[in-house]
Amino acid sequence: MYPFANSKGIIFGATGFLGERLAFDLSQKGCTLILHGKSVSKLNKLDSKIKKFNSSPTLIHGDLNNANFYKDLYNSINSRFNQIDFIFNLVGKFPRLSPLTNFSHAEWSELIEININSHWRIIKELEPLLRKSSNPKIIFLDNKNISNGKPFYNIFSISKAMVKILAKIYNLENNRLNIEIKVIEIPDLKNGITLVAQGNRKKNLDMSKIIKKIINDSFDNK
C-alpha cells in the first residue's frame, strides 16, 4: 500500500471538478497537499471544505499562462516543504468544438501555453523537489478517444497527444532518477459527468469510482 499519510503532493487545477474530488479523497487518506488554482475565491472555498477533514492544505494561486508564475514556484514550495512525492497536473482548456483554423494566432498561442507548455514548465521547476522523494510520481490524465486525434477537438486533442509523448520521452530519459510520469486513462468527461460509449448507448459512471481508479492507477494501489 502507498504511504499516503507520509506523502506530500501538489494538485495543479485543484478547483476543477476532478481536482476538487481528488483533493477530498487524498486529504482523507492523510496526504499533505498543496492545492493550485487560478481563482482565489474557489481555492478558499475548497480550503474550507477540506479543513472539515482535519487537513490544512497549502494554497497556491496563479495563472499558468503567466510566465512570472513559474519564477517563484520552486522557492515558494521549497520554503515550506523539503520534498514533493507526487504532482497531479489537471490543468487544461477546451474552448469549443471548432475546426483547427478557426482560431486567431493569439488564441492558439494561449491554448498551447496552458495545455502543453505548462506541463513542461512545472516539471522543469519542480524536478529538484521530486528528486528528494524515494518514490516520486507525476500524473497526467488522458482519454485515448481524444489523444488519438478527434475531429473538431482542435488544441485539446493535439495537446493530449503531445503530453503523452512528453511523458514517454521523459520516462526514457530519466529512468535512472526514479521519477515516473504516469498517464492515467479515464473515460469521456462532459460537464462534470463521466460517460463511456457502449455501442450506441452511453452509460453514466459513478464519479467516486473514477476518482478511486485514478488514485489506484496513479499509486499502484491495487
Q: Which residues of 10-44 are buried (b: 16+ CB within 10 A; e: fewer)?
A: bbbbbbbebbbbbbbbbbebebbbbbbbbeeebbe
Amino acid in the structure at residue 131 = R
Task: Please give the pLDDT value at position 185.
Answer: 85
- What pLDDT, on a 0 to 100 scale, did the predictor assign at position 110? 87
User: What is the per-residue pLDDT for 181?
Assistant: 94
Query: For residue 22, which of 39, 46, 45 has the smallest C-alpha distance?
Result: 46
**Quick check: 38 and 62 in contact, CB under 8 A?**
yes
Count Cβ atoms below 10 Å from residue 146 Cβ, excluding itself. Answer: 18
> What average pLDDT does the chain have?
85
Q: Which domains does the chain have, with CATH numbers?
A: 4-218 (3.40.50.720)
Lowest mean pLDDT among 11-15, 18-22, 36-40, 98-102: 98-102
So what's the pLDDT on residue 195? 44
**pLDDT by residue (tens digit) across 53-112?**
777 899 999 999 888 899 889 999 999 998 999 999 998 877 778 887 888 999 988 888
Spell out the residues 6+ positions from residue 140 whose beta carbon is closer than 8 angstroms to its own: 89, 119, 163, 164, 167, 181, 182, 183, 184
Give one word for 54, left, alpha or beta, with left for phi > 0 and alpha for psi -120 to 50: left
The DSSP bridge partners found for residue 66 are none
Residues 114-126 pLDDT 10s: 889 999 999 999 9
Residue 92, pLDDT score: 82
**pLDDT of res. 53:** 74
pLDDT reported for residue 188: 64
pLDDT tens digit sequence for 168-221: 999 999 887 789 999 998 876 554 434 443 444 444 457 788 899 999 999 986
pLDDT at 197: 38
